[in-house]
Amino acid sequence: MSTLTRLSSGLALLCGSLVWALSSFSADAASITTQPRCTGPSGYCLSFGSADTIPVIRSFNFTAPKAGTAQVTFHGSLYCGISTNTTTFARIDLVSQIVDRKNAVPDLSKAGSLRHAAGYTSNNTFHGWSTSFSLASTRVFTISAAGTQRYYFKIERLLQDANVTCYVYNATFTIVFI
């Protein structure tokens, strides 16, 4: 009987320890926050030509429950094409990046930046040139205390010929907080 009592006590201790460990683990588990994809009346979120100021593509507020780390991911696509059939030459060269300040400029030398470049030359036959770029980007930010964090996805123009217009589709942020 004493062996059975010791075995029961040991099992009770083991089960109690597992319940405690699992309950504290779930309290510290990663949280995932996402936003719905953007769409406009024509199916795209926004567009910009060479003379337009490129707006903030998308922003996202996230409330961190405590200090920790945020893995910020952005998904979407960029479609650029010739907006006239009178051209024989078109170029586009852009930089995109997730940033944590609205006035920050995407920087190729910084984490998570992407370069999107393409060119087209024609021999006077119009082919309706266009190209697409994935905007998939990830960046990790250290959060020093609980509170609201705001992230932005921005595009900076290095070169965009006058006859090229770009459209952003399905832009969305996801944040994994640990």
Residue 17 lies in a domain: no
> 């930089």: which residue's tokens?
95
Please tell me the predicted confidence (pLDDT) of residue 127.
Answer: 57
Residue 99 lies in a domain: yes
Residue 4 lies in a domain: no
pLDDT in tens, 22-34: 444 445 678 999 9
We report the CATH number of the domain holding residue 68 as: 2.60.120
* pTM more than 0.85: no
Please tell me the predicted confidence (pLDDT) of residue 85.
Answer: 65
d(CA 59, CA 172): 9
pLDDT in tens, 120-158: 876 555 556 789 999 999 999 999 999 999 999 999 999
Residue 19 phi, psi (nearest 5): -60, -45
Residue 12 lies in a domain: no
Rounded alpha-carbon distances, angstroms, from residue 64 to 34, 69, 86, 141: 13, 9, 52, 12
Residue 88 lies in a domain: yes
Residue 105 lies in a domain: yes
Domain tally, the chain: 1
Residue 123 lies in a domain: yes
Please tell me the predicted confidence (pLDDT) of residue 48.
Answer: 97
Q: Which range of residues forms the domain containing residue 76?
A: 31-177
Residue 1 lies in a domain: no
CA nearest to 166, candidates 130, 134, 136: 130
